[in-house]
Structure 1
């Protein structure tokens, strides 16, 4: 019997060998090709794709402080590093198709090919494959899986209309397998996640869990459910799902957070036994298994203390958390962000807020969810810090300048002595805090522990030695060959500025200078500057003092506006602006200062009418006065748009010599839109008409007033040149109309048809922008008010354009308000300038929409990420356009 069976098997094997044609549709042929395709080419292709997906998962660092993403994000760097693996998978899947055409594994292999294209970002090819399978595949499982993967690709590209169509189509399908249902509901959760519809994610994940057999997958989905319920305040449900997530052998990190969060929602946040809660966190911190999560424990305990109103204890715990060694930089970012929020919202300490925001951004990556918002917030506090510190520094130095040279020397000597004492005390404190190590008593040399007299183990002795060295030899840099005769003992620049603290105390100003002049690599003692360096910072002549006073004038003004408009602190804004008005009675910034004081006092219910009267009495022609007198007029983007149209019309009339009509339009526009960004251009054109039609003295007087009040640097410079021509008695000044903006003279004066000053040849050297075409670039389009209101429709048209012309570039589109009057549309990212310029050319040639005029399209420009940060800070698009015109 056994011989007969062996003979049959051998015969079958022989027949398979001689029947391996991929064309003959016989039973043995199909059996051979089905077996070979499944267990060879298809199997290995699928395994390689699974290996790639494991790489994607392992490379992604979960951020448990945020709701976890439904799918692991696909990092392009991982795709590039695993390109060989994907190519091998494609080769094997292609063999299953080419060599086994009559097998039932051809369509599953086609699906694998489409999936590989999807992972490589080749969306067109992938979608074509999935659509082909939907039409031609006879196996329902393959067809359904292809449709679900097609749905996921539409979601990636934010083609939500197409995605909704696929969802509707699948909802009508029957006989969807359990495995495919799991993937479908998980993809639906991803659809709602991408759209930001948080409430709809939970039902989708709930259904996905019904069909999930994989315990590892089930654990992660349960954890996400717990996070979503905790965020919604449904603690009982959150606890249940956190507990479920502990099944399935999750990694230790997720286990730790699941236990921590489940305790929070079950007991900690609601417990009235505060001692028990604190003990729980302390025990968690002491547990040696949690060493790598100690910063998280301190962070969570700090948030608990903050919820109890214990602000100082919360700050202390967060500070300790920041010092904990941990490779998870993102967690450090959350710690510093929390500290920044405390000092902003509870202490109104904007300077400290700025420095904590700096630290937070250093620990986040640009791809993190909160990075962009923090970066924009930081720019405001950067401006605050720059102006605040300049004000305190100059105030302190001017006070010191009022002392005699002998008194200055005595003051500096006392300061340096006090700093030496402070550094020694700090060293003593640090020495006292060192706890003796468990091996200290076993050392062969007694006294080598923390209280040692051995020099290199004694911080106080080292500090005293460093101070003594500094007294004798000065502050030498720690460099090789420092004894060379051609090297100075003082390597530092003597131009570093002294910094003062809030009180403006010169003593504190010198203390900050000591830190400012320091080099990070040197011991604390050697960071002290010498007496000559400190004395060199003190201004010695009136010209230097006047320059510092001018800087302080700008700082008072900038701080007042920043505090009122950006930080929403009218009470603090009033202090700085009233100081400006008091100390600088002839400041050209007074009209705007009065206007801001008017708004701030009005917000606080104060005597705002006083500033109304001051504006009308002292500056009756100011645009700020007109704004107060016409409070109901259109403002913002609409005002900019209307005033720009008026300027264009007035300029055309002026060119044709119709001065009265031009002036009428100018005056009407200034009355209606006194604070638009075109107000200064309109005003200058009106002055030029004065030069054309009225007496030279009036023309000169109006130019002087304009120069003192204009905030637009380019227009102010132009007016200054025109004023100089009049003062010097230039022959052309006898006929002031020739200085007016005729088409020829306007070009000579550097003003284009729209009143913008043309860039000069040396502008690139003076520009705040830098030419770096290898940086990542973005494409920007400035929107007029009517277009901005249709931004959603415009964005939809752009996404269709990107799908057709740039399907593989993963371009993102969004709008932000650059200022209160200006909205910009951003398309990103482009790896360098050439890529962005290529996009711009295609945009200008091929993109058509009813929401954009050709003029608006042509106003588009590209900009590097570094320069965009400058633009976002300076808010002056025309300034950047001048740089763009020269550089691109």
Structure 2
């Protein structure tokens, strides 16, 4: 009976405990126990499994500074979708089924982690914010805020990240686990902003709280890398040695020992033989068979420091051929080859091809890829024009020869190619295919002077060439197989090698790519039309190469040579005025005879804008931007009047983006408004015209805009418009003939500030300590001002000390200069606050983020105010 009573009571307790509505001690205990050790535990376990797999699949690149956080690989996440979905379901059950449990907020946090891993950032953000705002567990709130901080850094949302860091810095009683995560996330913040000193400071604090030896080893290695790059070899050595603790992977141990020797013994050693022997020992060690390319690469960098460029190049080429476990290293090897080719030899063609190779190994999403691609774009153009000049110049010369001379040239070219291929074949040691040529190539390593045929590599190669030329590329097979196969052997013609049908891999033959004399002769332009095309291409390439050399590669002498060739070979070229101008600039830079081009421009092209600029050199500031924007304006104008409105807008927007402030800016803006009139609603057209009239200073353009606006206005609005002067033309083109040549205000001379109207801006009020004391209510008044006038702008206010004499109050963010200007005008008209006089308001300004960084370094407010008054007031 007692057993039955106990069983009944247990059933009653469990049935009452299963209710998620009754908030009793028994219910809470049951739901806490169940949600923790069932739903929460399993969810957390599945998430950790995915995180561990992400770490396991990530290939560390020890030749570069390791990232603070291992990037989340989308492929791994996709592979684990079912596991994450299961984790999400369990966490949701913990919330739905155990609502009175104390693990509900923890489950929301885990859902946020799942969203973060699956790149659902908005959902993750909402989950972390919810946990922070509702949880009573301060440790959990701290975890949520730290996770939110990492998400902000991922998005490069530094403003919200700064607010979060500021909030966490004021929090007390952060436990050790959260402090570790916080300092590691701070290191990630500084890493994202390329602040090496900040990374070092944050990691130094993080390792104080690290309790995972493997993670501690990795952080010590990262710290060592940063110290090494900062030139603090002693500290780097200590941290490399510390990174060997914690049973790290062999590859990390290898690099730790290698780099520790570099910063300690190798760099300080004067015994070069000892250093080289060290690398040789590493190379011979069988444990390093997958790291041979690393050893040779590091040895190449050592020899580069010694100034031995030929040996460095040999080692880099060797490293590129060595087997290795990291394709990215091959990319760095080719990048270093490109760097040496450029810096030491100015060999732009070799640099371009090395960069091509580097980018085949470096992933597009890599930070290096974008920079390398940008460098390569210029070199691509250089190589394209150089090679086109070489080719077309040769073809045009050949076109002037007689038929017999051309045939003799073709045969000589083919003979030289045969000789070149023979030398290449002789240098080969390993077979690359099953063709007879490549099978016989295996003998090529033997003594070239031996009397026995098959011991004489050169004789074997020559015999193979003769055989292929006569019989084709026959495979090795028995007579009965040859008789059943269909061969069409080639005849022995001068320099013409062809394989027959049915040959096995004829393209693998060393002679397969040799052209015939006929195909070579066909490439020569033998008609007036073909000659004209070749000359047009040659003319274009001489000009474009000259520009490229002058502006992008800074090779003024080579630029002059290319442009002078253009003028000499094509005296009637339409590019002549611009070529004269570039030659004027080049000779002036080289202290040459630039005045001759001033004379030529005045004699031959008196009305050219280039003539204006050489006659008025002081007016030529920013002239190239003006000239380029003028060309694009003409293209946009022609597209508009031919009805191609979308194309016209494309020209306008790209020009405004590339050349934001020129004398063409107002014209381009008005033309864009005209496109709006064709493509968008009438109200939009009207509002843009009204804004343009208010903000534009050039009278002729304002008058033209008013005439466009008139048909859109009511009678009352027409009276208010009151045109200042009659409009004498309907055409924008004719109106432009009378446009004033006065430029918009120029940037003050020697100003360190740049105009970037599309960048995020902030508004700044600068006060002295006395003025700040008098303006105690400034922040509150600003918030009230924003609530009344900028309700939806989400503006934030804050203050900071710039120096002992100046405190600044910051309002942010403004998406661009236009938005900041709207705020500035409203502020000047309506803002009132005790202690803020009109003089202080007049000292306020707005500034782009980039310029603010410059200002924060110089602390020179008056210098920026001069820039601000010139550009915006």
Question: For residue 535 of structure 2, what is the aligned residue in structure 1?
Answer: 549
Does 2:183 align with 1:185? yes
Q: Secondary structure of 1:527's partner?
A: coil
Question: For residue 469 of structure 1, what is the aligned residue in structure 2?
Answer: 468
Q: Which runs of 5+ in 2 are unaligned?
A: 432-441, 476-483, 497-504, 642-659, 669-727, 738-745, 748-752, 764-790, 793-814, 823-873
Q: What is the CA–CA distance in structure 1 between the aligned matches of 2:444 and 2:186, rounded to whole Å? A: 63
- In the alignment, which of 614, 617, 622 is matched to residue 628 of structure 1? 614
- In the alignment, which of 562, 575, 584 is matched to residue 598 of structure 1? 584
- In the alignment, which of 181, 198, 201 is matched to residue 200 of structure 1? 198
Q: What is the CA–CA distance in structure 2 between the aligned matches of 1:111 and 1:404, rounded to whole Å? A: 84
Q: What is the CA–CA distance in structure 1 between the aligned matches of 2:759 and 2:242, rounded to whole Å? A: 41
CA displacement, residues 831-876 of structure 1 (integer Å, 9 cap, x when unaligned): xxxxxxxxxxxxxxx99962699xxxxxxxxxxxxxxxxxxxxxxx
CA RMSD of aligned residues (A): 4.6
- In the alignment, which of 80, 85, 88 is matched to residue 86 of structure 2? 88
Q: Secondary structure of 2:324's partner?
A: coil
Does 2:819 align with 1:850? yes
In structure 2, relative to structure 1, the CA distance for the partners of 1:559 and 1:8 (3 Å cut) is: farther
Q: Which runs of 5+ in 1 are unaligned?
A: 435-446, 477-481, 491-506, 511-518, 655-672, 682-740, 756-783, 797-803, 806-845, 854-888
Q: Secondary structure of 2:269's partner?
A: coil
Shift of 1:754: 9.9
Shift of 1:26: 4.7
- Which segment is superposed worse, 93-102 or 209-218? 93-102
Q: What is the CA–CA distance in structure 1 between the aligned matches of 2:556 and 2:141, rounded to whole Å? A: 63
Q: What is the CA–CA distance in structure 1 between the aligned matches of 2:231 and 2:284, rounded to whole Å? A: 30
CA displacement, residues 454-483 of structure 1 (integer Å, 9 cap, x when unaligned): 99998964674355434566999xxxxx99
Q: What is the CA–CA distance in structure 1 between the aligned matches of 2:81 and 2:36, rounded to whole Å? A: 24
Question: For residue 363 of structure 2, what is the aligned residue in structure 1?
Answer: 365
Q: What is the CA–CA distance in structure 2 between the aligned matches of 1:604 and 1:520, rounded to whole Å? A: 55
Q: What is the CA–CA distance in structure 2 between the aligned matches of 1:330 and 1:522, rounded to whole Å? A: 29
Question: For residue 493 of structure 1, what is the aligned residue in structure 2?
Answer: none
Shift of 1:645: 13
Question: For residue 62 of structure 1, what is the aligned residue in structure 2?
Answer: 60
Question: For residue 789 of structure 1, what is the aligned residue in structure 2?
Answer: 756
> Matched residue pairs, number?
644
Question: For residue 354 of structure 1, what is the aligned residue in structure 2?
Answer: 352
In structure 2, relative to structure 1, the CA distance for the partners of 1:397 and 1:44 (3 Å cut) is: same
- Which segment is superposed worse, 108-117 or 72-81? 72-81
Question: TM-score if structure 2 supplies the norm length?
Answer: 0.66
- Which segment is superposed worse, 121-130 or 784-793? 784-793
Q: What is the CA–CA distance in structure 2 between the aligned matches of 1:220 and 1:137, rounded to whole Å? A: 33
Q: What is the CA–CA distance in structure 2 between the aligned matches of 1:641 and 1:569, rounded to whole Å? A: 21
Write the mapping of 1:284-295 to structure 2, written as runs, cut at 5 A. 284-295=282-293
- In the alignment, which of 210, 234, 237 is matched to residue 235 of structure 2? 237
Q: What is the CA–CA distance in structure 1 between the aligned matches of 2:632 and 2:534, rounded to whole Å? A: 41
Does 2:520 align with 1:522? no
Residue pair 1:643, 1:676 contacting (<8 A) in 2 also = no
Shift of 1:451: 4.6
Q: What is the CA–CA distance in structure 1 between the aligned matches of 2:489 and 2:393, rounded to whole Å? A: 31
In structure 2, relative to structure 1, the CA distance for the partners of 1:378 and 1:851 (3 Å cut) is: farther
Question: For residue 224 of structure 2, what is the aligned residue in structure 1?
Answer: 226
Q: What is the CA–CA distance in structure 1 between the aligned matches of 2:220 and 2:148, rounded to whole Å? A: 26
Residue pair 1:570, 1:604 contacting (<8 A) in 2 also = yes
Shift of 1:66: 2.5
Q: What is the CA–CA distance in structure 2 between the aligned matches of 1:191 and 1:9, rounded to whole Å? A: 59
Shift of 1:235: 1.2
CA displacement, residues 561-592 of structure 1 (integer Å, 9 cap, x when unaligned): 11111100101111111222222223222221
Question: For residue 212 of structure 1, what is the aligned residue in structure 2?
Answer: 210
Q: What is the CA–CA distance in structure 2 between the aligned matches of 1:590 and 1:645, rounded to whole Å? A: 19
Residue pair 2:320, 2:333 contacting (<8 A) in 1 also = yes
Q: What is the CA–CA distance in structure 2 between the aligned matches of 1:520 and 1:243, rounded to whole Å? A: 56
Write the mapping of 1:32-181 to structure 2, written as runs, cut at 5 A. 32-181=30-179
Residue pair 1:44, 1:89 contacting (<8 A) in 2 also = yes
Higher relative contact order (CA 8 A, sep 6+): 1
Q: Secondary structure of 2:760's partner?
A: helix
Q: What is the CA–CA distance in structure 2 between the aligned matches of 1:210 and 1:7, rounded to whole Å? A: 57
CA displacement, residues 609-653 of structure 1 (integer Å, 9 cap, x when unaligned): 2222222222222211111112222525984799799999x99xx
Does 2:17 align with 1:20? yes
Q: What is the CA–CA distance in structure 2 between the aligned matches of 1:638 and 1:549, rounded to whole Å? A: 29
- In the alignment, which of 541, 549, 558 is matched to residue 572 of structure 1? 558
- In the alignment, which of 612, 616, 619 is matched to residue 598 of structure 2? 612
Question: For residue 382 of structure 1, what is the aligned residue in structure 2?
Answer: 380
Shift of 1:128: 2.8
Does 2:521 align with 1:535? yes
Shift of 1:140: 1.8
In structure 2, relative to structure 1, the CA distance for the partners of 1:8 and 1:275 (3 Å cut) is: farther
Question: TM-score if structure 1 supplies the norm length?
Answer: 0.64
Residue pair 1:292, 1:326 contacting (<8 A) in 2 also = yes
CA displacement, residues 587-618 of structure 1 (integer Å, 9 cap, x when unaligned): 22222122111111211222222222222222
Q: Secondary structure of 1:370's partner?
A: helix
Q: What is the CA–CA distance in structure 2 between the aligned matches of 1:278 and 1:645, rounded to whole Å? A: 58
Shift of 1:175: 1.5
CA displacement, residues 711-745 of structure 1 (integer Å, 9 cap, x when unaligned): xxxxxxxxxxxxxxxxxxxxxxxxxxxxxx9979x
Q: What is the CA–CA distance in structure 2 between the aligned matches of 1:7 and 1:263, rounded to whole Å? A: 76
